[in-house]
Amino acid sequence: MKINIVLGLIFLSFLLYANSNYLHGIVGLTMRDGGTGCVCHNFSLDDSVNVWIEGPDSIQKNITAQFKLFMTGGPAVEGGFNIASNIGLLSPVDTLVTLIAGELTHSAPNPFKNDTVSWSFYYTAPDSIITDTLYSVGNSVNGDGNPNSFDKWNFGKNFIIHIIDSPVNVDEHNIKPEQYTLYQNYPNPFNPSTTIHYTILLDTKGEMQEVSLKVYDVLGNEVATLVDEYKPAGNYEVKFDATNLSSGIYYYRLQAGEFVSVKKMILLK
């Protein structure tokens, strides 16, 4: 009898705690901290809820970039979330998000729009060349104000961020590059501009190469010419501004003599 009373008091305290924190969210629920999840609403995760993060997968040291958490599924009336990182610093973009103990959560339940709810946030990279991880969990609720089994939650896929060194400007006339290289653009995904870095050599006669760097859409249509001239051997970078283009996948193609390389980039508006 005493055990039942104690268990009842514990459960009642848990419900009171859950309700007191429901409006502004709770932290410490992601896979980084053991995967507790949104147990104040439902003890089991639900695969009908989809949670994911979008943003650049590589960031220079000490640079701040904007990310977005999305959620679909479940009752899809209102939503809440919790995001944590291993090393980088998190911060809100607007009043929909609040920072608690270094983690992010909702400041109030956010209504779904067209079956989707989202929150924007900032991530500041550390001063080290490492790999960081963003952990997330989202809760889709029916909006009745009472945490119960009708509410559904799930963990988001871990989002890996590669922290890279800042580009070094090199005098193109005082270097001896060893190979042709077309690097991945940074940032990627991007909005509205990104930087493409590449390395070229002299031709077999020791003369300048005719260099072409162009951007294409997924249908193969040319949308921009970034470079079209003869260049000496060296390291180069060029900025691509996609302000007038729509979101989607694009390809950039470098040709220098017989060398050709193509890479993919994502414009995310």
- CATH number for the domain spanning 102: value is 2.60.40.10
Whether 28 is in a domain gets the answer yes
The lowest-confidence range among 144-158, 162-176, 212-226 is 162-176
Three-class secondary structure of residue 9 per DSSP: helix
Of 138 and 12, the one with more pLDDT: 138
Which tokens in the block code for residue 201? 């050599």
Distance CA 196, CA 138 (A): 35
Distance CA 35, CA 132 (A): 18
Q: Are residues 35 and 136 in the same domain?
A: yes
Confidence category of residue 167, pLDDT binned at 50, 70, 90: low
Q: Is the pLDDT of residue 18 over 50?
A: no
Write down which residue in 103, 136, 164 finishes a domain: 164
pLDDT value at residue 34: 86
- What is the residue-averaged pLDDT of the chain? 85
> Based on the structure, what is the number of domains in the chain?
2
Whether 169 is in a domain gets the answer no
Rounded average pLDDT over 63-86: 94
pLDDT value at residue 3: 52
Whether 170 is in a domain gets the answer no
Q: Which letter, b or e, does each residue of 95-120 get, where b requires 16 or more Cβ atoms within 10 Å of its Cβ?
A: ebbeeeeebbbbbebbebeeeebbbe
Q: Are residues 135 and 232 in the same domain?
A: no
CA distances for 36 relative to 27, 33, 147, 209, angstroms: 10, 7, 16, 58
Q: Are residues 120 and 60 in the same domain?
A: yes
Q: Are residues 153 and 194 in the same domain?
A: no
Q: Is the pLDDT of residue 208 over 90?
A: no
Q: Are residues 123 and 213 in the same domain?
A: no
**pLDDT tens, 108-137?**
999 999 999 999 999 999 998 899 999 999
Q: Report if pTM > 0.85.
A: no
Q: Are residues 25 and 134 in the same domain?
A: yes
Distance CA 195, CA 238 (A): 6
The lowest-confidence range among 38-42, 120-124, 206-210 is 38-42
**pLDDT tens, 136-147?**
999 999 988 777
Whether 230 is in a domain gets the answer yes
Write down which residue in 164, 190, 224 finishes a domain: 164
Q: Are residues 246 and 119 in the same domain?
A: no
Which tokens in the block code for residue 42? 């439902």
pLDDT value at residue 171: 46
Q: Are residues 154 and 203 in the same domain?
A: no
Longest dimension (CA), the chain: 93
Q: Are residues 120 and 15 in the same domain?
A: yes
Distance CA 88, CA 258 (A): 42
Whether 171 is in a domain gets the answer no
Q: Are residues 146 and 60 in the same domain?
A: yes
- Shortest CA distance to 148 belongs to which of 45, 42, 67, 249? 42
Q: Are residues 134 and 218 in the same domain?
A: no
Containing structural domain, residue 246? 181-267
For the ranges 31-40, 62-71, 132-141, the one whose mean pLDDT is highest: 132-141
